[in-house]
Amino acid sequence: MWSSRLLFVLAATGSAVGLGNIWKFPYITGENGGGAFVLVYLICIAAIGIPVMIAEVLMGRAGRQSPINTLRTLVRDSGTSSFWTLIGWMGVLAGFLILSYYAVIAGWAVSYVFRLGGGAFVGADGELSSGIFNDFLANPWEVLLWHSLFMVATIIIVARGVVRGLQVAVRWLMPILLVLLIGLVGYAAVYGDFAAGVAFLFSFDASKLSWAGTLTAMGHAFFTLSLGMGAIMAYGAYLQSNTSISSTVITIGTLDTVVALAAGLAIFPIVFAVEGLAPGEGPGLMFQTLPIAFGNLPGGTVLGALFFLLVSFAAITSAISLTEPALTYLVERYNAKRSRVAISLGSFCWLLGIGTVLSFNTWADAKLFGLTFFEVVDYLSYKVMLPLGGMLIALFAGWVLSKQTVVDQLGFEDGMKWTLWRTGIAFAAPAGIVIVFVYTIYQSFG
């Protein structure tokens, strides 16, 4: 069990707060015009993200097992088809696949702590920054080194269990992460163009928001909360019975959103402060554009290193949650020691991650259907399995799960709360996820 509601909130927020908040949210906001995109994103968090997260937590606490065995128990109690156990299997596999490449990209962030701290980007321009990043990716041994270090750190934490591992990690990492983020926002306010950053992030201009941008906001609202991969369900299994699920999940969703917006307030003013840099620079914003900005601002060497330390902390809190669904199932299935399973699972994940490492250099030209190894794994897990898993969770919780189970876990069955829950999980969330899924497939093959 989590020893307190606060630690569950920190753990679940840590799972949600990762590269998606600090890396992806700022650049997709930049690509889609700022404030109007943020508004749509917030609406989608409330309509799609919160209901599905509540469903995952209540299912996890009702089952008190790994996601796979929790679904088996809930399916049996509901007297329905064993088809629904697919939710557990899909979440476990998706989380494992995502971790295999997530650890590689997180390793990039760890390496940049030392690059920024070592002054590699002092006075840097676009050519130097791009050259450093491209040379780094072109060296498989260096990328593999940072991937390995990140995986080792993840394995050590999860091997120690919930009380001595996960709780200790989030008790320290999450407060440090929040302090670093607040410090970086303060730095941006003093040395960045804060007015331009705030205007870009919050000024409402609906003309800049396309239908594609709206769908991007819907998709990110779902993905940013770590939904559909069993991590939140696994964490919910450790939640105390007297803790309110709905209010706790709303707190987590609020914190996740606050961190995403704060990351934007830290990043955009810094980017705007350096002439010639643009906020909508895609994935290169973090590894190519921001280092230029830090390298040309007062104290940028130290603050740049702290920024990538923040990113690394956010990444590892997400990584430890990605291991939990598969790890708990294997411990239950084979009655094995958690530490041994963690080492075995982590080693296999590390091995699979080598494919992603090589996708940016040695195997860059080896493609299946026009996709590299990394892109295939990313597509199957992130773009196919997660939305399908999330949709099945919403449908199962909204239409199949016994009402008594829901009432026992949420504590309400009538009134406004029940109406909002029922509308969100049975109608709004499945519809939104289907729209995002179809659009993603259309983009890929249309």
CA–chain centroid gap for 204, Å, is 26
At residue 120, the pLDDT reads 93
At residue 119, the pLDDT reads 92
- Characterise 276 by phi-psi region: left (phi > 0), alpha (psi -120 to 50), beta (else): left
At residue 278, the pLDDT reads 72
At residue 194, the pLDDT reads 93
Which 3 state secondary structure label does DSSP give 443? helix
Amino acid symbol at 24: K
Average pLDDT over the chain, rounded to an integer: 89
Helices of type H across 118-244: 126-138, 140-159, 161, 167-191, 194-202, 211-223, 231-236
Q: Does 2 or 320 have the greater pLDDT score?
A: 320
- pLDDT tens string 77-116: 888 899 999 999 998 999 999 999 999 999 999 999 999 9
Output DSSP code: residue 365. T
Q: In sequence order, which residues have a C-beta less than 8 Å from that of residue 327 and are 6 or more positions away?
A: 158, 338, 341, 342, 345
Output DSSP code: residue 208. G
Locate tokens 């094995």: which residue?
A: 336
Inter-CA distances, 169 with 14, 228, 313, 317, 432, Å: 10, 23, 10, 8, 34
Locate tokens 């968090």: which residue?
A: 45
At residue 281, the pLDDT reads 62
Q: In sequence order, which residues have a C-beta less than 8 Å from that of residue 179 and are 6 or more positions away?
A: none
- pLDDT tens string 106-119: 999 999 999 999 99
Provide the whole-model pTM: 0.91
At residue 63, the pLDDT reads 94
Tokens of 106: 């997180």
pLDDT at 165 over 90: no
At residue 373, the pLDDT reads 96
At residue 26, the pLDDT reads 77
- pLDDT tens string 53-74: 999 999 999 999 999 999 999 9
Residue 87 C-beta-side C-alpha neighbours within 13 Å: 33
pLDDT tier at 229, thresholds 50, 70, 90: confident
- pLDDT tens string 280-327: 666 677 888 889 989 998 888 999 999 899 889 888 988 999 998 999
Lowest mean pLDDT among 17-26, 212-221, 252-261: 17-26
Locate tokens 């080792």: which residue?
A: 152
Tokens of 215: 């769908």
Which 3 state secondary structure label does DSSP give 368? strand
- pLDDT tens string 252-288: 999 988 888 898 899 889 888 887 777 766 667 788 8
Cβ-based burial of 247 (10 A; exposed 0-12, middle 13-18, buried ≥19): exposed
- pLDDT tens string 123-161: 888 899 999 999 999 999 999 999 999 999 999 999 988
Return d(Cα 30, Cα 42) in angstroms, integer. 16
* Angle subtended at Cα 218 by Cα 97 and Cα 45, rounded to the nearest 5 degrees: 95
Alpha-carbon Rg for the chain, nearest whole angstrom, is 21
CATH code at 5-445: 1.20.1740
- pLDDT tens string 426-442: 999 999 889 888 887 88
Asked whether 316 and 334 are in contact (CB, 8 A), the reply is: no
CA–chain centroid gap for 27, Å, is 15
Beta bridge partners of 368: 371
* Angle subtended at Cα 94 by Cα 93 and Cα 99, rounded to the nearest 5 degrees: 100
pLDDT at 46 over 80: yes
- pLDDT tens string 361-401: 999 999 888 899 999 998 898 888 888 998 999 999 999 99
Tokens of 283: 């994935």
Domain residue extents for the chain = 5-445
Asked whether 224 and 21 are in contact (CB, 8 A), the reply is: yes
pLDDT at 443 over 80: no
CA dihedral 400, 403, 409, 410 (to 10 degrees): 110
- pLDDT tens string 176-190: 888 989 998 999 999
Return d(Cα 242, Cα 181) in angstroms, integer. 32
Return d(Cα 203, Cα 205) in angstroms, integer. 6
Lowest mean pLDDT among 6-20, 24-38, 59-73, 126-140: 24-38
Asked whether 226 and 232 are in contact (CB, 8 A), the reply is: yes
At residue 280, the pLDDT reads 62
Return d(Cα 396, Cα 3) in angstroms, integer. 29
CA dihedral 322, 150, 223, 26 (to 10 degrees): 160
Locate tokens 């819907």: which residue?
A: 218
The DSSP result for 285-322, as a single string, is IIIIIHHHHHHTSTTHHHHHHHHHHHHHHHHHHHHHHH
Instruction: Give pairs for 410-414: CB < 8 Å, separation 24+.
Output: 410/54, 410/58, 410/245, 410/246, 411/244, 412/246
